[in-house]
Each structure stands twice: as C-alpha cells, then as structure tokens.
C-alpha cells in the first residue's frame, strides 16, 4: 500500500466550516486574499470568484481523499475519453451536490448579495458542441454520484464553442473567452506534464536482447499539461477528476533555438505549439479532414494513455493487467487513435509482443457511436495520417492485415466485404476509417437508443455486426436530474420533494410515486402554478433582452438544440407560417395562443443552417408586428443557447419539439430534459423519443410522421416533394409566401436555397411529414385548451421519466461493459456530506 496523501492533514476551520458565520468570514477572506479586493471596490465577478473559492475549499478534502483512496486501493477504473465535455456552470451544481445551496444563499443575503446574481456571473466552460459533449458531462456526474472510480480525459480548449449573436436576423460568431477572468475550478498540474510526439519517421534497431524493435523518430515533440477539475457526486464523498490537457512547447525548445541564436523564431515556434488546444471545432455531426483536428485527437489521447500507465506504475501494478485496471470508453470515434497508441506504447515503449499487446488492447476499449449521418463518419486522408503519425499507420496496417485474414476465414471469397470492412478505404483517394478501427479494437460497441442501436446493426455497422455480433449492445442515453431538475427547476423539485421525499434525486424511478397525485386537484393546481411561475420568469427575460412581450398564458412551444436540416427547425417554421396564413385569411379565427421559442447554434460553415436561423427571425419580424395577429402567436429566436440558458428554458416549456426525420437523431437528450420538467413532446418515432413515448404512455405524447422504415421505403420508391406541394393547397401557400419575398422585405431570393432544397430534394422529408405535423399540432392546441387535462398529462410525463436518468445509463454501462464496482471514500466526520 502506498500512502500518497497523509491521513492527518490539518485544515483550517475557515476553509471547511459550513455555518453561516464561517461562510461569510471565509467569503470575505477570499475576496481579500485571492481577489485582492474589499467590498467597496469589488466587481460582481470578484464576488463570484470569492464565492467559488469558498465553495472549492469545501470540496477539496473530498477530492483529495477520493484521489488518495483510488491510489491506495487501485480499483478498476472507468476512463471516459471524450474530445468534448459540455459542462455548464460549476458553482450551482457544486452547491447542490455539497448540500450547501440554502446556507450559502442565506450567507450571501446577510452580506447584501444575491446568490442568483452570482451564479449568473459564471462564464460556463463550453467545451463541447451539443449532445455528445453534454452527455459526457452528465456521465461524469453520474459516475461520481454512483461512487464509481472514474476519470474523464479531454482537451482544455482555450476557446470553447463560440458565443452566438444575432445581427439583422443572421448568426454572428464571437470568440468564447471563458478563461479571461480565470477559472477557479481547475488546478494546473505542470509537474505531471507529459510529452507527445508528432511526424517524422520510424526506424528499426536491435535491442539488448537481440530483438528487432521499432523506434519512432518524431519531427516534433509537444508537452501536455493536465488541468484537473473536481467532479463531485451528489451527497457522497466521491469527487472524481476531470483531467483536461493543454498543449505547450517542451522546455527543450528554448534550448535548441536559443543556441541557434534565433530568439524570435524560438518564441514563435513555442506559441505555435499551443495552437493544438486553442479552439474547439464548432461542427456538430460533421467531419472535415482538418489536420489540426487529428492533432488534437492524438494529443489528448496520447497524454491520457501515458497518464494511465503512469498511475499504474505509482500503484505498482504491471501493465500486463492494464485491461483489468482500466475500462476505456471511446466517446464516438474522436479518441479512437487510442487503439493504435496503446499498441504503440505496449510494443515500442514497453517491449510487449504483438499478440499480448493486442489481447490487452482489445479487452480495454469500448466504443459508443453517436450518429448515423454519413457526413459525420471520421476518415483521415492517408497521406496526412502518414505524415503526422507514421508509426501508428504501420500499426494500423498490421492490425488491418490480421483482421482481414480473420474476415477472409469467416466469409471466404467475399471481396466486397473485405473492401467495406478494411480500416483503409481504398475505393478512391485513400483514407483511414476510424469507425472501422474502433469496431476492430473494441470489445463492446453501443448505440445510444434502442432504434439507433438496431439501425447501427442493420446499416452503418452491419458488416461488423455479422463479424462480431457479441460485441453489440445498446445503452440508451440519460441526463442528470441534479442539474436538469434540482438545480434548474427548484420550484418543481420542492413540490416533488414535499410530496414524495427526496429519494428521487438519486433514484429517479421514485418519481413514479407522483402518479398517485394525478388525481389530487390541489396537487394539479400547485403543479400548474409552478409551470406558470417558471414561464413568467422566461417571459421577463425575453422582455428584458428582446423587448418582446410574450404572454405567459400562451402555450410555450420550444425547439432548442443545434440547428440542422435533419432536426427540421424549418418544419416548425412552416407550421408557424401556416398558422399565420390562417389568421390572415380569417383574423377572427379562434386559435390557441402560442409562443414559439427557438434556440441553437449553427456550425459557422453550414450555410443552410444559418439560413434557417435567418428564416426564423424573418418570420418572427413579420408575425410579431402584424396587428392582425393580435399577439396570438409570437416567435422568438433566443440567442446564444448554452447550458446555463438551457437550464432556464427546459423548465418553461409546455411543448417540446422533437421532430427530426425518423432514423436520423441517434437519441436526443434534450427530449428527456424537457419531459422530466413536465413538457409534453410532439415528436417523431426517432431516437429516444420512442422509448420516452413508451415510458410516459402513448396518450401523453403527440406522435406524428413517417417511421424510419417508411422513410427508407419512400426514398427507395422515388420520393418527389412536388407531389406534396401540388396536392396540398395550404402547404403550397406557405411555400409560395416564403418564395414571394413576403417575409424578406420583398426579396424573393433570400430563402431560395432553402426552398429549392425542399422542392427539388427534400432529403429530410419535410413535405412528406408536413400534413401529419400540422394535424398533430392541432391536437396539441385542442389539448392545451383543457388545462386540467394537460396538467394530468404533464404530471405523468414527470412521473414516468425515471428511466432517463444518466444514473440508469451508467448502471447499464457498468453491468454490460465496464464491470467496475463502486468504492466508498471515507472522509473524517467534520467534513462529511451535509444533506
Ligand atoms: C446525437 N457530434 C444525439 C447525442 O448521444 C445524441 C460529431 C462529430 C463531430 C463533432 N460532434 C459530433 C455528434 O455526433 C453528436 O452530438 N451526436 C449526438 O449525440 C448523445 O443524443 O442524438 O445527434
């Protein structure tokens, strides 16, 4: 046993005490000694920082005890490798998990400060694009809450996802400066930096035992510095680590260049090195073969694997047992170079024989696929790959050669199959196919919802399914109820806890107890009031920031997610225009008042998505200002949708738009966050919608549209969008109005690319689903008119969402893939979790 951290650290009371007086003193102390400010000159950010440090002080003991426990007990550990962690603000979440929310709120009040204001001050770490990155964040939350030894590995981007502004209806991207005022939640560990090699060549040499070995002679070497962030579990002593790598120049750099006398060149080259972790690629669900992106992937994966080996060495464990000590989850193919890197480390650096190394590697990795979209599948041009990672390419060739031999034996005389399954795409320009490498190098492969996992087996990964059926499994996504209910919707959380106790926060299935209260008119009344109050908050926000008055009694109909054609925000827009046209034709038409809210970012290079934003804003301009509408419909595009703002949005929805073309949305997770906050879903049979509908009951879900199977059949039989345009007068009027320039100050060309894409191709079958969607929206409007009936459905949605906790997802991963038992962390009485 090694004892890295002494057991008897003495900690000053001001850094651990959680009574109000101590908290206040500690807060002012941090303001003075860390921010170097006193209250009269402190900015709001100074106060935020002082509070963040005060809270951080109170979790450090748990964090160090957890680290120490893992080092000493050397338990099986989950390593979650992800190029993205879309964390959202830390302060509120840590207050909740420490059980300090109320007492800190009180302490701040006594100092004349408002906790909500201070929480607003936090610049969130937006180190992800959307679903995939946010899922990683939910999973590390659940891993800590379930007391599983785990570490998240990723990239410390200096600039995360861009901030979005809207100018003249168009998206404008602004650099995300999340680190500009410092990050109180991270601890740099320069002493634990590692080196990563790039480029160059390989050479053969004979080692001291006369064995042929291969050595990689790199073109350049980079340094990876880890920055650690504690990830607290909810009401546990476990605080796991999120370790994000920053690229720097190695010290040796100065040395060489200074010797050559090229001072400026040396400094320049040094800052070039930092480029690797400068910025997050903002493309959701699309792959561009950019070299810097491959450099990012290899950089963080190499650092992480070397780090894992180093930890085993501290623990005196032999690398022979690497796969027993670690289960490495690949969050999509982005970290898949890890398969080749672990092989390289074992073969070249630690002298393993091929078979032994391959055995360890393929018992270590598991791969999660997040998308079926062909444009998202990662492939790297061979020449680029070879110049950056020459040794890895050799290893991949060897893996491929042995793998194709296996395929040949199982499926003789099937050249097409070999070509499809090869890790190297040789059909034209040559590429390395990362999904193929992930499938060959992993012992488990999973999709993220039942339908998605089935489609993977039948389509994208069909050959691999036939080769290795035993590797395939499904783990339906989930989301953390700590952030997306307790923190984001305290009114609802309190109402629930008052009725059924607080067990639901850790065992979300207990929400089912709420079903009993569906019949309780008082409860329905209280439930409705909660929703009303939250909607009022959002309405206030909209009035303040957009100078638009929205009616909090209207139906809040929200679509918040990345902007993408397959997600069909423009189908929603077509419906808005439909309603508008009806009102224009009959200004006295009795319709259910609605507020249409949109939020989401478009990839900066995705023209159609940006045009969809412009379309929504243009429709909003006309609809919101037309006196004939008489405020019965309002449209608002909420700018800069991020985790912090999402937390205000989910609770305020009456209706959640989950309207992707069936077969395209792998799972969706926003769908879960809306539903557990009482929104009803209008949705297609896509992704996890299917399972949500099953869970909440088909009567409490608004279903429309083609099924995935019907979508394929329709396309196969020659889909022609004009048929729908010509046969549906209401649809025709919508398209014609958009094409006429009515919504674009008379410019008939503005939306032409979008309309042409609908009329001449309509890859995502908007026109085919239009009528079904409109009719379904009519059912929604009718249902909303009976507010008591609506409330019953809404309550049942909340009550039946237990399955969609990320705790359940993590338990599925543990049971079927990781097999890593929980480990209790002991913390002396005086700092134990207070609930
Ligand atoms: C799915 N992102 C959601 C969510 O499983 C699903 C791809 C390439 C490069 C950068 N980002 C990506 C994704 O593929 C992604 O976010 N996928 C999403 O993963 C979690 O719920 O349906 O679209």
Per-residue pLDDT reduced to its tens digit, 85-137: 999 999 999 999 999 999 999 999 999 999 999 999 999 999 999 999 999 99
pLDDT greater than 80 at residue 261: no
Query: Could you give the CA distance from residue 95 to residue 425 in angstroms, rounded to a whole number?
Result: 50
- For residue 835, pLDDT beyond 50: no
Instruction: For residue range 809-829, list pLDDT tens digits in order.
Output: 999 999 999 999 999 999 875
- Decide: residue 168, CB within 10 A, 0-12 exposed, 13-18 middle, 19+ buried: exposed
227 phi and psi angles, rounded to 5 deg:
-120, 120
Nearest to 593 by CA among 635, 549, 633: 633
Question: Does ligand 1 come within 6 angstroms of the Cβ of 688?
Answer: no
- Is the CB of residue 285 below 6 angstroms from any atom belonging to ligand 1? yes
Give, for ligand 1, the residue of 126, 130, 132 to mutate: max count of ligand atoms closer than 8 Å to Cβ.
Answer: 132
User: What is the structure's pLDDT at 268?
Assistant: 83
CA of 683 to the centre of ligand 1 (A): 18
Q: Which residues pair with 525 in a beta bridge?
A: none
The answer, yes or no, to whether any atom of ligand 1 lies below 6 A from the CB of 448, is yes
Residue-by-residue DSSP string for 133-151: HHHHHHHHHHHHHTT--EE
CB 791 within 8 A of CB 523: no
Residue 783 to residue 787: CA distance in whole angstroms: 8
- Report the atom number in ligand 1 closest to the C-alpha of 129: 11
| CATH 3.40.50.2000 domain range(s) in the chain | 78-89+125-477+816-831, 511-804
In a mutational test of the pocket of ligand 1, which residue from 80, 130, 283 has the highest number of ligand atoms less than 8 Å from its CB? 130
pLDDT for the residue numbered 1: 36
From the list 558, 553, 541, the residue with the least C-alpha distance to 673 is 558
Which numeric CATH code is attached to 78-89+125-477+816-831?
3.40.50.2000
176: left (phi > 0), else alpha (psi -120 to 50), else beta? Answer: beta
Planar angle of CA 395, 400, 404, nearest 5 degrees:
155
What CA–CA distance (Å, rounded) separates 395 from 105? 56
Atom of ligand 1 nearest to the CA of 669: 21
Q: Which H or E element spans position 232? A: strand 220-232
Name the percent of the chain lying above pLDDT 90.
93
Task: Report the chain's terminal Cα–Cα distance, integer Å.
Answer: 33
Pairing between β-strand 655-658 and β-strand 194-198 as defined by DSSP bridges: unpaired
Average pLDDT of the segment spanning 550-558: 98
User: Does ligand 1 have an atom closer than 6 angstroms to the CB of 672?
Assistant: no
Specify the length of the chain in residues: 835
Q: Please, which contacts does 533-542 make with residues 24 or more away whose CB atoms are closer than 8 Å?
A: 533/491, 534/489, 534/491, 534/492, 534/651, 534/652, 535/652, 535/654, 537/648, 537/652, 538/648, 538/649, 538/652, 541/648, 542/636, 542/638
Encode pLDDT of 193-249 as tens digits: 999 999 999 999 999 999 999 999 999 999 999 999 999 999 999 999 999 999 999
* Distance in Å, CA 286 to ligand 1 centroid: 9
In tens, the pLDDT along 740-759 reads 999 999 999 999 999 999 99
Q: Is the pLDDT of residue 537 over 70?
A: yes
User: Is ligand 1 within 6 A of the CB of residue 477?
Assistant: yes
Q: Does the beta carbon of 161 sit less than 6 angstroms from any atom of ligand 1? A: no
pLDDT score recorded for residue 2: 38
Tell me the CA–centroid distance for residue 827 and ligand 1, in Å: 38
pLDDT-based confidence at residue 831 (cuts at 50, 70, 90): very low
3-state secondary structure of 15: helix
Distance between CA atoms of residues 105 and 113, nearest Å: 9
Which residues are part of the catalytic machinery?
370, 561-562, 567, 669, 673
| CATH superfamily, domain at 511-804 | Glycogen Phosphorylase B; (3.40.50.2000)
β-partners of residue 231 are 240
The preferred substitution site among 82, 284, 605, 764 for testing ligand 1, maximizing ligand atoms within 8 Å of CB, is 284
- pLDDT tens sequence across 263-304: 787 788 788 889 999 999 999 889 999 999 999 999 999 999
Residue 227 C-beta-side C-alpha neighbours within 13 Å: 17
Better-scored residue on pLDDT, 259 or 518:
518
686 lines ligand 1 (CB under 6 A): no
**Which protein residue's CA is at the shortest distance from atom 10 of ligand 1?**
284
Which ligand 1 atom sits nearest the alpha carbon of residue 666? Answer: 22
Nearest-angstrom CA–CA distance, 398 and 382: 15
Q: In this model, does residue 37 exceed pLDDT 80?
A: yes
Alpha carbons 10 and 360: distance in angstroms, whole number: 42
Where residue 314 falls among pLDDT bands split at 50, 70, 90? Answer: very high
370 touches ligand 1 (CB under 6 Å): yes
Please tell me the residue having the least CA distance from ligand 1 atom 11: 284
Q: Is the ipTM of this complex over 0.90?
A: yes
- Ligand 1 within 6 A of CB of 149: no
- pLDDT computed for residue 828 by the predictor: 76
Q: Is the pLDDT of residue 806 over 70?
A: yes
Tokens 């060495």, located at residue: 313
**Section 28-57 average pLDDT:** 97
Q: Which ligand 1 atom minimizes the distance to the CA of 83? A: 10
- Of 160, 370, 643, the residue with max ligand 1 atoms within 8 A of its CB, to mutate for a pocket test, comes to 370
| Three-class DSSP labels, 32-54 | HHCCCCCHHHCCHHHHHHHHHHH
Candidate from 53-57, 204-208, 249-253, 770-774 with smallest mean pLDDT: 249-253
Cβ(680)–Cβ(589) below 8 Å:
no
**Closest approach atom of ligand 1 to CA 135:** 20
Long-range CB pairs of 227-230, under 8 A, 24+ apart, other chains included: 227/156, 227/186, 227/187, 227/188, 227/189, 228/186, 228/187, 228/189, 229/87, 229/90, 229/185, 229/186, 229/187, 230/56, 230/59, 230/60, 230/62, 230/63, 230/185
- Residue with the smallest CA separation from ligand 1 atom 8 is 285
Q: What is the whole-number distance in angstroms between the Cα of residue 331 and the centre of ligand 1?
A: 10
Please spell the DSSP secondary structure of 468-498, one letter per residue.
Answer: -GGGEEE----B-HIIIIIIT-HHHHHHHHH
- Whether 834 shows a pLDDT value over 60: the answer reads no
Res. 833 pLDDT band, cuts 50 70 90: very low
Measuring CA to CA, how many Å separate 601 from each of 136, 559, 629?
A: 19, 12, 28
Q: Which atom of ligand 1 is nearest to the CA of 134?
A: 20
Q: Between 831 and 28, whose confidence is greater?
A: 28
The closest alpha carbon to 483, from 620, 676, 698, belongs to 676
**Residue 607 neighbours by CB distance under 10 Å:** 12
β-sheet bridge partners, residue 195: 223
**Residue 26 Cα, ligand 1 centroid: separation in angstroms?**
42
- Return the ligand 1 atom nearest residue 286 CA: 8
pLDDT score at 829: 59
In the predicted structure, residue 253 carries a pLDDT above the cut 80: no
Tokens describing residue 452: 């998605």
Q: Is 600 in the pocket of ligand 1 (CB under 6 A)?
A: no
Cβ 673 under 6 angstroms from ligand 1: no
478 lines ligand 1 (CB under 6 A): no
Dist CA 482 CA 142 (whole Å): 9
Asked whether the beta carbons of 357 and 347 are under 8 A apart, the reply is yes
CA of 82 to the centre of ligand 1 (A): 12
Ligand 1 atom closest to Cα of 665?
Answer: 22
128 within ligand 1 shell (Cβ under 6 A): no
Work out the number of other CB atoms within 10 angstroms of the CB of residue 40. 5
3-state secondary structure of 599: strand
pLDDT beyond 50 at 5: no
- At residue 378, the pLDDT reads 97
Ligand 1 pocket test target in 371, 456, 565, 690 with most atoms within 8 Å of CB: 371
Most ligand 1 atoms within 8 A of CB, residue of 83, 84, 131, 329 to mutate? 131
Nearest Cα to Cα of residue 538 among 631, 630, 647, 633: 647
Measure the CA–CA gap between 803 and 694, rounded to whole angstroms. Answer: 11
For residue 667 and ligand 1, the question of a CB distance below 6 A is answered with yes
129 Cβ inside 6 Å of ligand 1: yes
Spell out the SS3 assignment of 160-172: CCCEEEEECCEEE
Q: Is 665 in the pocket of ligand 1 (CB under 6 A)?
A: yes
Q: What is the dihedral of CA 793, 795, 797, 800, to 10 degrees?
A: -130
Q: How far is the CA of 369 from the centre of ligand 1 (A)?
A: 9
Return the beta strands (E) in 565-679 as ranges: 594-599, 633-638, 655-658
> Can you tell me the mean pLDDT for 144-170?
98
Q: How would DSSP label each residue in 248-290?
A: E--THHHHHHHHHT-HHHHHHHHHHHGGGGTB----TT-----
Type and span of the H or E element at 78:
strand 77-81
């Amino acid at each position: 046993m090694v004892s890295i951290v002494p057991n008897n650290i003495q900690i000053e009371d001001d850094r651990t005490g959680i009574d109000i007086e101590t908290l206040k003193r500690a807060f002012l102390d941090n303001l003075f000694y860390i921010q170097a400010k006193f209250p009269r000159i402190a900015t709001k950010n100074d106060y935020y920082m002082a509070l963040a440090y005060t809270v951080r002080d109170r979790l450090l003991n748990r964090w160090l005890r957890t680290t120490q426990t893992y080092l000493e007990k050397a338990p099986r550990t989950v390593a979650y490798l992800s190029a993205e962690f879309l964390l959202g603000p830390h302060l509120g979440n840590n207050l909740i998990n420490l059980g300090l929310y109320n007492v800190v709120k009180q302490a701040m009040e006594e100092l004349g400060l408002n906790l909500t204001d201070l929480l607003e001050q936090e610049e969130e770490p937006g180190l992800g694009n959307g679903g995939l990155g946010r899922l990683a964040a939910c999973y590390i939350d659940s891993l800590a809450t379930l007391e599983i030894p785990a570490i998240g590995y990723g990239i410390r981007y200096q600039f995360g996802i861009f901030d979005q502004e809207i100018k003249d209806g168009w998206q404008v991207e602004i650099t995300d400066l999340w680190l500009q005022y410092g990050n109180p939640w991270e601890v740099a560990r320069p002493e634990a930096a590692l080196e990563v090699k790039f480029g160059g060549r390989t050479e053969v040499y004979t080692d001291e035992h006369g064995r042929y070995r291969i050595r990689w002679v790199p073109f350049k070497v980079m340094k990876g510095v880890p920055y650690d962030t504690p990830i607290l579990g909810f009401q546990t002593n476990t605080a796991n680590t999120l370790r994000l790598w920053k690229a720097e120049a190695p010290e040796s750099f100065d040395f060489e260049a200074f010797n050559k006398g090229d001072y400026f060149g040396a400094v320049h080259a040094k800052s070039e090195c930092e480029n690797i972790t400068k910025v997050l690629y903002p493309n959701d669900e699309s792959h561009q073969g950019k070299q810097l992106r491959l450099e990012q992937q290899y950089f963080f994966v190499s650092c992480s694997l070397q780090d894992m080996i180093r930890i085993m060495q501290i623990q005196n464990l032999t690398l022979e047992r690497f796969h027993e000590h670690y289960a490495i989850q690949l969050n999509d193919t982005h970290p898949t170079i890890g398969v080749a890197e672990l092989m390289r480390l074992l073969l070249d650096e630690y002298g393993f024989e091929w078979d032994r190394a391959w055995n360890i590697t393929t018992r270590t990795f598991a791969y999660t696929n997040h998308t079926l979209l062909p444009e998202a599948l990662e492939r790297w041009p061979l020449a680029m790959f070879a110049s950056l990672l020459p040794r890895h390419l050799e290893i991949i060739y060897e893996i491929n050669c042995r793998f194709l031999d296996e395929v040949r034996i199982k499926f003789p005389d099937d050249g097409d199959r070999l070509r499809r399954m090869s890790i190297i795409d040789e059909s034209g320009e040559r590429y390395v196919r990362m999904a193929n490498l992930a499938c060959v190098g992993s012992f488990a492969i999973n999709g993220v919802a039942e339908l998605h996992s089935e489609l993977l087996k039948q389509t994208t990964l069909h050959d691999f399914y036939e080769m290795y059926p035993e590797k395939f499994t499904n783990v339906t996504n989930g989301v953390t109820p700590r952030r997306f209910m307790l923190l984001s919707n305290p009114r609802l959380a309190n109402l629930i806890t008052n009725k059924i106790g607080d067990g639901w926060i850790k065992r979300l299935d207990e929400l089912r107890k709420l079903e009993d209260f569906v019949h309780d008119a008082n409860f329905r009344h209280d439930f409705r009031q909660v929703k009303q109050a939250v909607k009022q908050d959002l309405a206030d926000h909209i009035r303040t920031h957009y100078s638009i008055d929205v009616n909090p009694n209207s139906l809040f109909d929200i679509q918040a997610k990345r902007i993408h054609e397959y997600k069909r925000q423009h189908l929603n827009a077509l419906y808005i225009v439909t309603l508008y046209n009806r009102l224009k034709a009959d200004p006295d038409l009795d319709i259910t008042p609605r507020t249409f809210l949109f939020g989401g970012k478009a990839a900066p290079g995705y023209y159609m998505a940006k045009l969809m934003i412009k379309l929504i804003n243009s429709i909003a301009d006309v609809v919101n200002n037309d006196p004939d509408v008489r405020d019965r419909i309002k449209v608002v595009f909420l700018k800069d949708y991020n985790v912090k703002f999402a937390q205000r949005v989910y609770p305020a929805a009456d209706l959640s738009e989950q309207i992707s073309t069936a077969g395209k949305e792998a799972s969706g997770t926003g769908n879960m966050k809306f539903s557990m906050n009482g929104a009803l879903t209008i949705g297609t049979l896509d992704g996890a919608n299917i399972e949500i509908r099953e869970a909440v009951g088909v009567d409490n879900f608004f279903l429309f549209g083609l099924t995935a199977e019907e979508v394929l059949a329709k396309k196969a039989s020659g889909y022609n969008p004009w048929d729908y345009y010509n046969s549906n007068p209401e649809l025709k009027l919508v398209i014609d109005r958009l094409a006429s320039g009515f919504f674009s100050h008379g410019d008939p060309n503005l939306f032409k690319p979008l309309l042409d894409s609908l009329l001449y191709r309509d890859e995502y079958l908007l026109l085919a689903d239009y009528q079904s969607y409109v009719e379904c929206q009519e059912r929604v409007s009718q249902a909303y008119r009976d507010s008591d009936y609506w409330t019953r459905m809404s309550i049942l949605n909340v009550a039946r969402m237990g399955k969609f906790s990320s705790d359940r997802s993590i338990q599925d991963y543990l049971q079927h893939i990781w097999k890593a038992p929980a480990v209790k962390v002991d913390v002396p009485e005086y700092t134990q979790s207070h609930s």
